[in-house]
Chains A and B, each alone.
Chain A
Amino acid sequence: MSSSTEWPLWEVFVRSRRGLSHTHAGSLHAPDAEMALRNARDLYTRRNEGVSIWVVPSTQITASSPDEKDSFFDPSADKPYRHPTFYDIPEGVKHL
């Protein structure tokens, strides 16, 4: 647990270019959302990485539990029909 004098933690999501989704880039400390955005700009977009940034308080993220990994994810592993492997992907289709 962090002490009360420490700034809260924020998760940073960066969209690298238009048309792509925001991707988790990392996390940082900041006193509020506005400063978190600015810190994220300094830490994660210095080399032309981004066109848009989201910051989310880390406490607002609900994560799946590592202990329940088997029951969560294994049942889908043996159902090949869920995967689009039976189609030929036309040439020129990107991001698939």
Chain B
Amino acid sequence: MTPTPVSPASPGAGPAPTTTEAPALHAAALALGDDALVLSHRLGEWAGHAPVLEEEVALANIALDLLGQARVLLSLAGDEDELAYLREERAFRNLQLVEQPNGDFAHTIARQLYFSVYQTLLYGQLADTDSLLAPLAAKAVKEVAYHQDHAEQWTLRLGDGTAESHERMRRGLDALWRFTGEMFQPVPGLDLDWQGMREQWTARVTEVIEKATLSVPEGPQSGAWTAGAGREGLHTESFGRMLAEMQHLHRSHPGASW
């Protein structure tokens, strides 16, 4: 095929992405898409196991919202199925927070609280930019605002509930605290106010936790070796097992369809 020289002024070509913009956008879409995909899978694991039927539906709803976001984002970064099912652990760019196992219900709610407040702030900011991800963010911010409400309502009820639920909620918040620092490391390709996001996140999470008669965990938000690790492809022990389960069918029957 003869290469055709493309004039930048050719009519109908539209604004071509600059060479520096495209890879950065892919990386950003991959990071946010992997967050959504991995958390969606974790929440899906509650199907058939949730404490009550109504809550199972609620968690599945949230998981499906996230899966929808993941599909759009991963399609921007490449082929969605290849990215989801054929990448190795080290190629995933999700935060370590979202890959953490479900634990008990309070543990899952703690993970939801930390992540959904972050996601609401992130998509809220992103929607106001001229990034190619802005339309997705504008649509998703309504979904994740509901996820945040769900997590906050449960944090209040578990924290201010029985002695048992209070203790379990405290344990969940404490255990996951060290994974929250990574959220505010700037993602290349996203021109956002990360420091402002951290301040708003801390204010909101503190407000909810204290209203739930609990206290904000002490200690650093990131352990020494975990800082920024998920975004660089370093993941925690349980992530490999989760991936094996998620990818098993596709890898065993390549190209299979229903």
**A residues at B contact (CB < 8 Å):** 7, 28-32, 34-35, 38-39, 42-43, 46
Tell me the complex Cα distance, A7–B52, Å.
9
Contact A42 B52 (CB under 8 A): no
Number of B interface residues in the complex (CB < 8 A): 11
Q: A38-B58, A38-B149, A38-B153 are in contact. List 18 more A-B contacts (CB 8 A).
A: A7-B52, A28-B54, A29-B52, A29-B54, A30-B54, A32-B157, A34-B153, A35-B153, A35-B157, A38-B150, A39-B58, A42-B54, A42-B57, A42-B58, A42-B61, A43-B54, A43-B57, A46-B61
Nearest 4 interchain pairs by C-beta:
A39-B54, A42-B58, A42-B61, A42-B57
B residues at A contact (CB < 8 Å)? 52-55, 57-58, 61, 149-150, 153, 157
Number of inter-chain CB pairs below 8 Å: 26
Taken together as a complex, chains A and B put the C-alpha atoms of A74 and B8 apart, in Å, by 82
Residues from chain B with Cβ under 8 Å of A46 in the complex? 61
**Which residues from A are CB-within-8-Å of B150?**
38
Q: 24 A-B residue contacts at CB 8 Å?
A: A7-B52, A28-B54, A29-B53, A29-B54, A30-B54, A31-B157, A34-B153, A35-B153, A35-B157, A38-B58, A38-B149, A38-B150, A38-B153, A39-B54, A39-B55, A39-B57, A39-B58, A42-B54, A42-B57, A42-B58, A42-B61, A43-B54, A43-B57, A46-B61
